[in-house]
Amino acid sequence: MMARLLDRKKIASLKERAIVSILAASSFLSIIVTVALTLILFTEAIIFFEKVSLKEFLTGTKWAPLFYDPSFGVLPLVAGTFLTTMIAIVIALPLGLIIAIYLSEYSNKKFRHYVKIFLEFLYSIPTIVYGYLALVVFTPFLKKYIPVEIFNAFSASVMMGVMILPIIASLSEEAFSSVPKDLREASLALGATRLDTVLKVVLPYSVSGVLASVILAVSRAIGETMIVAVAAGSTPNFTLNPFVSVQTMTAYIAQVSMGDTPFGSIEYASIYAVGFLLFVITFTLNYLSRVVFRWQKK
Amino acid sequence: MNVVEFKKPDSENKVVEFVGFGVSISGKQIFEGVSFPVYKNCITAIMGPSGSGKTTLLRSINRLLDEFCDVKYSGKLLFEGRDVINDGVDKTILRARIGMVFQRPNPFPGSIFDNVVYGLRLHGVRDKKLLEEVCIESLKKVGLYREVKNRLHRPAYDLSGGQQQRLCIARSLAVNPHVVLLDEPTSSLDPTSSAVIEELLTHLKKECTIIIVTHNLQQAGRISDYVAFLYPNEDLVSHLIEFGQTREVFFNPKESLTESYIAGKSG
Ligand SMILES: Nc1ncnc2c1ncn2[C@@H]1O[C@H](COP(=O)(O)OP(=O)(O)OP(=O)(O)O)[C@@H](O)[C@H]1O
Ligand SMILES: [Mg+2]
């Protein structure tokens, strides 16, 4: 009797140890994968920078890797990324905030529930669909009113704005909903209207939550590939004009990796350099949003 | 308590009056038929067991109750002679005259200064000097000025719980309310901080009328001039069991329910 009990205990502890080692192994694996990826990115980028100086790469304003006399100034790609991201945020931020404020301060539970489902739905639409919609629906519609190119930054950005809207709306809504009810009541009890209360108590209280949602949305927009690849074209363009074709960093990487660029060529190596830059930018943004989140907790 | 003696309790002196007043929330009757006056420059304590509707009664005075739930009122609730339920009183104006202090200190994000002048800014006061004056005066009233005068522009969250609660009282005083409502304002504080606030309230009643919800019998006995005692019946609908001067109700209760409640609480 006693022996069997001990046996059972032994088995249980063996099981426990097995589970713990599996867990440890998987978390270790994730570290290995991350380190490996970063290393590959880095070593391939080094190959590129042996041929092109870091200065030319970071300050050059012409990106023409396929020309007879190629030039590798990454700024046009950065400008394309910056332009599309900015327009997307300019659209998504106010709209997202208004939705979040309405949901947390004015709407009833039922409506809030349905809008949240709808936002989730928006977020789960594959981005290729957005890209396609931009190209075949939104751009032709725009063309009726303003002279835009078939491929243009604006259409892609608007769709990207719709894509990141759910991030800003739902994360901000969460931030607003976590404002203690007490605070709203204290404000109302002093004779504030609901709008006063939103502007003077709820927003200041949750400003870091909103900021974090914006940073997350920005890094999502910067990393977005499909929409811009399909709708914004593939012409590196050092411009802030949204109605012409541009190429973003991601779209360039996609173009080269899907094309027939020979392995080992400088064009091929260039995608690692661009990828590395992209990695640095998004990593910084994600880190920033983490800092902001922590700051909010305090 | 001599304030009570030389002031004739006529209608002039009734700042708030409940007349056959009742509230139901989402179809559930909380209390009904409540009638009693609140006299000027007195502290009126609302007492009763948990769930008897004290908070609900308090929140109907500034109509804060309406904001977050589905309320039906019955009877009358007079504030300075006007029925705030039926006479179409503007809630924001009503609330500007009625201060409120909550169970837990709830300062706004922002500085001590921003907190105190919140109400003034709401009502459009922009004059820096005036804001500063009122801020200092209000902080002095709650005995906080000396403690914070060097950090008026530091975050309010840096203050201790007791200081925060006094800050919240100062915030409600800054707009010169005629009545201040307090819902168990000391229940989250240590005895020393509570004593400071009790002391403060007995001074404050010289300039405004105070209604306080409290679970603490000793506290009610120490500071209040009048007590209203609510108690639920079998159907969990509360009624006003007794109202009167605190001494009378405590030492000479007319109702046996009051007597046993007081005996149970203090014994
Ligand atoms: N928003 C609401 N929705 C539904 N019922 C409510 C709501 N607020 C209060 N009630 C009900 O009203 C009754 C009285 O509540 P109230 O908070 O006024 O009691 P109280 O006397 O202040 O109690 P306590 O001493 O515990 O603070 C309770 O039965 C409570 O469930
Ligand atoms: Mg209560």
- Higher per-residue confidence, B2 vs B214: B214
CA angle A284, A289, A292 (to 5 degrees): 125
pLDDT digits (tens, 9 = 90+) for A158-214: 999 999 999 999 999 999 999 999 999 999 999 999 999 999 999 999 998 899 899
Q: Are strands B71-79 and B82-83 parallel, antiparallel or unpaired?
A: antiparallel
Distances (CA, A) of A162 to A39, A166, A226, A244, A286: 35, 8, 14, 20, 21
- Please tell me which of the candidates A189, A200, A204 has its beta carbon nearest to residue B64: A189
Here the tokens at position B137 are 């005066």
Ligand 1 atom at shortest distance from the alpha carbon of B52: 21
Per-residue pLDDT, B116: 97
Sorted by sequence, the CB contacts under 8 Å of residue B77 that are 6+ apart come out as B16, B17, B18, B19, B21, B60, B61, B83, B84, B85
pLDDT digits (tens, 9 = 90+) for B114-148: 999 999 999 999 999 999 999 999 999 999 999 99
Q: How far is the CA of B55 from the centre of ligand 1 (A)?
A: 7
Band (A297; pLDDT cuts 50, 70, 90): low
Here the tokens at position B214 are 């409290």
**Residues listed for chain B:** 267
Q: Is the pLDDT of residue A110 over 60?
A: yes
Write the burial class of residue A142 (CB in 10 Å: 0-12 exposed, 13-18 middle, 19+ buried): middle
- Please tell me which of the candidates A180, A196, A205 has its beta carbon nearest to residue B122: A196
Give the 3-state secondary structure of residue A193. coil
Please list every residue in chain B whose beta carbon sits closer than 8 Å to the beta carbon of residue A196: 122
Q: How far apart are CA B197 and CA B187, in angstroms?
A: 11
Q: How far apart are CA B212 and CA B160, in angstroms?
A: 22
Q: How far apart are CA A31 and CA A175, in angstroms?
A: 31
Q: How far apart are CA A178 and CA B250, in angstroms?
A: 43
Q: How far is the CA of B51 from the centre of ligand 1 (A)?
A: 5
- Please tell me which of the candidates A187, A188, A191 has its beta carbon nearest to residue B123: A191
Q: How far apart are CA A167 and CA A178, in angstroms?
A: 17
Q: What is the mean pLDDT of chain B?
A: 92
Backbone angles phi, psi at B221, to 5 degrees: -65, -40
The residue whose C-alpha atom lies closest to atom 31 belonging to ligand 1 is B51
B213 interfacial to chain A (CB closer than 8 Å): no
Q: How far apart are CA B20 and CA B35, in angstroms?
A: 5
Amino acid in position A19? I
Q: Is the pLDDT of residue B3 over 50?
A: no
Please list every residue in chain B whose beta carbon sits closer than 8 Å to the beta carbon of residue A188: 64, 67, 95
Please list every residue in chain A whose beta carbon sits closer than 8 Å to the beta carbon of residue B108: 183, 186-187, 200-201, 204-205
Q: How far apart are CA B79 and CA A74, in angstroms?
A: 71
Q: What is the mean pLDDT of chain A?
A: 91
Q: How far is the CA of B255 from the centre of ligand 2 (A)?
A: 23
Per-residue pLDDT, A11: 81
Q: Is the pLDDT of residue B1 over 90?
A: no
Give the 3-state secondary structure of residue B200. helix
Band (B243; pLDDT cuts 50, 70, 90): very high
Band (A257; pLDDT cuts 50, 70, 90): confident
Residue of chain A whose Cα is closest to the Cα of B169? A186
Q: Which residues surround ligand 2, an ion (CB under 5 A)?
A: B 55
Contacts 24+ apart (CB under 8 A), A105-109: A105/A176, A105/A194, A105/A197, A105/A198, A105/A202, A106/A194
Residue whose C-alpha is closest to residue A151's, from A64, A232, A49: A232
B27 Cβ below 6 A of ligand 1 = no
Per-residue pLDDT, B4: 46
B96 interfacial to chain A (CB closer than 8 Å): yes
Here the tokens at position A224 are 């977005």
End-to-end CA distance of chain B: give it in Å, rounded. 25
The residue whose C-alpha atom lies closest to atom 9 belonging to ligand 1 is B56
Distances (CA, A) of B45 to A172, B39, B83, B206: 41, 11, 22, 16
Residue of chain B whose Cα is closest to the Cα of A184? B108
A268 to chain B, closest Cα gap in Å: 53
Please list every residue in chain A whose beta carbon sits closer than 8 Å to the beta carbon of residue B119: 190-191
pLDDT digits (tens, 9 = 90+) for A189-203: 999 999 999 999 999
pLDDT digits (tens, 9 = 90+) for B200-211: 999 999 999 999
Mean pLDDT within A218-225: 93
Sorted by sequence, the CB contacts under 8 Å of residue A197 that are 6+ apart come out as A105, A184, A187, A188
Sorted by sequence, the CB contacts under 8 Å of residue A97 that are 6+ apart come out as A168, A169, A172, A210
Q: Is the pLDDT of residue A109 over 80?
A: yes
H helices of B142-266, in order, are 145-148, 161-173, 191-204, 217-223, 246-251, 256-266
pLDDT digits (tens, 9 = 90+) for B22-34: 999 999 999 999 9
Ligand 1 atom at shortest distance from the alpha carbon of B56: 18
Tell me which residue has tokens 């990826």: A37
pLDDT digits (tens, 9 = 90+) for B50-67: 999 999 999 999 999 998
Ligand 1 atom at shortest distance from the alpha carbon of B215: 25
Q: How far apart are CA A227 and CA A221, in angstroms?
A: 10
Q: Are B159 and B106 in contact (CB under 8 A)?
A: no
Per-residue pLDDT, A178: 92
Per-residue pLDDT, B6: 46
The whole-angstrom distance between residue A165's C-alpha and the CA centroid of its chain comes to 11
Choose the residue to mutate in B54, B233, B240, B265 for probing ligand 1, maximizing ligand atoms within 8 Å of C-beta.
Answer: B54
B52 Cβ below 6 A of ligand 1 = yes
Q: Is the pLDDT of residue B267 over 80?
A: no
Ligand 1 atom at shortest distance from the alpha carbon of B48: 21
Per-residue pLDDT, A66: 82
Q: How far apart are CA A173 and CA A214, in angstroms?
A: 12
Here the tokens at position B248 are 């009378």
Q: Output DSSP code: residue B1.
A: -
The residue whose C-alpha atom lies closest to atom 30 belonging to ligand 1 is B51
B50 Cβ below 6 A of ligand 1 = yes
Q: Is the pLDDT of residue B48 over 60?
A: yes
B25 Cβ below 6 A of ligand 1 = yes
Here the tokens at position A110 are 């039922």
Task: With a threshold of 0.85, tell me whether the complex ipTM lies above it.
Answer: yes
Tell me which residue has tokens 């300039």: B207
Return the residue in A190, A202, A206 with the most chain B beta carbons within 10 A, the one to mutate for interface testing: A190
The whole-angstrom distance between residue A172's C-alpha and the CA centroid of its chain comes to 16
Q: Is the pLDDT of residue A102 over 70?
A: yes
Here the tokens at position A128 are 């290729």
Band (A296; pLDDT cuts 50, 70, 90): low
Q: Is the pLDDT of residue B12 over 90?
A: no
Quick check: B100 and A189 CB within 8 A? yes
